[in-house]
Chain A
Amino acid sequence: MLTEKKKERVVEIPTSSMADIAFLILIFFIVCSTIDVSKGITLVLPAPGEEKQIREKNITNLLVNDAGLVLLDDQETELYAVKNVIRDKLAENNKLIVSVKTGVNTEYRIYIDVMDQLKQAFVLANLPARISIAEPDK
């Protein structure tokens, strides 16, 4: 009798919580997965034919030559110092517009570095970015 009773034991894996486990895994993956979005530097281009008269003192000219050297208001500046120089200028005059002009053979990477510096300066000064892009000389 004793041996017979032992044989009757049911050996099954409990499946009632299977759904909960699957849900947990599902939620884990939903939370972990990221859909990649465009990240970068935003800019609004000026409308064609739009010309504004801006007072000379509210403009800072920033020139980048083909070799990647930066000329900020006729003064040669290190690329990574642009942020601080512009920030100081913004502290003096919060209506400042930075006009960026590059050479035709300037690398895009350097242009983005300059734009990055300017964006950072405007963020530090807590002002909306006012950057104007000038046509490179032909």
Chain B
Amino acid sequence: MPMDFKKKSKVNTGIPTSSLPDIVFLLLIFFMVTTVFKEFTGLQVILPSAQQVEKLRGKRDIAHLWADRSENVSIDDRLVTIEQIKDLMYQKRSDPTHPLRAVSMKIDQKVKMKLVSAIQEQLRKADALNIIYNAKPSS
């Protein structure tokens, strides 16, 4: 009779870990597939090229402005008129938690300076002074 008790205590109580990597992979792939990066479609522009290009650090709190050769202006995928830029930028600039850091300007190379300076004038009035003229790096 005492032998019976001993046999019972030999039950294996470990969790099987051999399939753990598979589970981790499944989770990883699930999150990779479901995450979406915030991307804008923007307008059709051909950027000018420049040699002395700098990178803009970080992706947060940046407004994206497009201006194409038919003088359409869009900010973060919203078509705007020149006069609207000031108010829109001022709103972004005075956001209490995430104030605007910089404006990334994607302007077509054929755009006339009249438009560019009008945009800049609006940005100045909205106190959005840090800008970057996007350009293709050329060596």
Contacts and interface: CB of A to CB of B under 8 A. Distances in A.
Given A22-B25, A35-B37, A42 B110 contact: no
Nearest to A49: B124
B123 interface: yes
Contacts of A111: 113, 116
A119 to B, nearest CB: 4
Interface stretch (B2-10, B55-63, B74-82, B92-100): B55-63
Interface string A88-113: 00000000000000111111110111
Nearest to A122: B52
Interface size class of B (residues with CB under 8 A): 35 or more
Pick from B48, B105, B124 the residue with the most CB of A within 10 Å. B48
Interface residues of A, number: 35
Nearest to A22: B25
B113 to A, nearest CB: 4
Contact of B50 (A19, A40, A106): A40
B56 A136 contact: no
A133 B133 CA distance: 14
A106 B135 CA distance: 17
Interface of A: 19, 22, 26, 35, 37-48, 102-109, 111-113, 115-116, 119-120, 123, 133, 135-136
Q: Lowest 3 A-B CB distances belong to which pairs?
A: A109-B109, A119-B52, A116-B50
